[in-house]
Amino acid sequence: WKKMCDIHFKGPNVMITGTPGTGKTTLCSQLVEQTGLNLISIGELAKDNNFYGEYDSELQSYELDEDKVIDEIDECMKEGGNVVDYHGCDFFPERWFDAVFVLRTDNTVLYERLEKRNYSQRKIQENVQCEIMRVVLDEALDSYKSEIVYELESDTPDHMEQNLATIKNWIEKWKSEHRQ
C-alpha cells in the first residue's frame, strides 16, 4: 500500500531545465505531443496568474513568487505525469521529480540564439556567463540526487532529436519499472 502511494499514478514527473535559450520550450512542446504528458511551463503559469514579486533591475525581470507557484501545482505534481519547463530548479520540493534533464548549449551558439530575442547586451552576457559557469547544472546537482540528474547537449537539431529520444526512452523505462 505504501509503495502504491509513492508512485505517481499518471506517470513520472520530469523537469526540463537549463539557461534561457538552451531549447527547453522547443523540446517540451515536442515531448508532450509525443508522450501525452502534461506540460507545466512555470514562465507561462506565472504570467497567466501574475505570480510575481519584486522587480530585479540586475536581471531585468520580475522575481517569481515561488510559494504561489508551488501551491498552484502541488496537487497536479502529486498525481504525476507532468513535464515542467523552467530555467531554475532549486525551489521545487525534491519529492516532485523522478528525473531532471539539464540542457546545455555552447556559448557561441547560445549568444546567437539570445541575440535573436532582442535581449539587451547585458542580459545576453549574463545568461551566457550563467551557461559558462554551469549554474543551472550545479543547481540541479545541489537540489536533487545526482542519479536523477541528466546533462544533455543542445546545440543542433540533431541534438534535439537525440534528447527527445533519450527522454522518451527514460519515460518508457520508468513506466515499465512501475508497471504502468
Cβ 156 to ligand DAT, closest distance in Å?
5
Q: Which residue is nearest to ligand DAT (CB)?
A: 23
Q: Where do contacts with ligand DAT occur on this chain (CB under 6 A)?
A: 18, 20-26, 113, 154-157, 159-160
Going by DSSP bridges, is the β-strand pair 52-56/99-104 parallel, antiparallel, or unpaired?
unpaired
The helix/strand/coil state of 97 is: coil
- Check whether 26 is labelled as a binding-site residue: yes
Shortest CB 110 distance to ligand DAT, Å: 9
Min dist CB 159 to ligand DAT, Å, is 5
Closer by beta carbon to ligand DAT, 47 or else 175 = 47
**Other C-beta atoms lying within 10 Å of the C-beta of residue 180:** 16
Helix (H/G/I), strand (E/B), else coil: 21: coil
- The C-alpha angle 64, 140, 51, rounded to 5 degrees, equals 10
What is the rounded (10 degree) CA torsion for 75, 78, 13, 110? 40
Select 90 or 106, whichever has its Cβ closest to ligand DAT: 106
The residue (of 44 and 79) whose beta carbon lies closer to ligand DAT is: 44
Q: For the chain, give me the number of helices (H) and strands (E)?
A: 8, 7
Nearest to ligand DAT of 70, 160 (CB atom): 160
Q: Which residues are annotated as a binding site for ATP?
A: 21, 23-26, 117
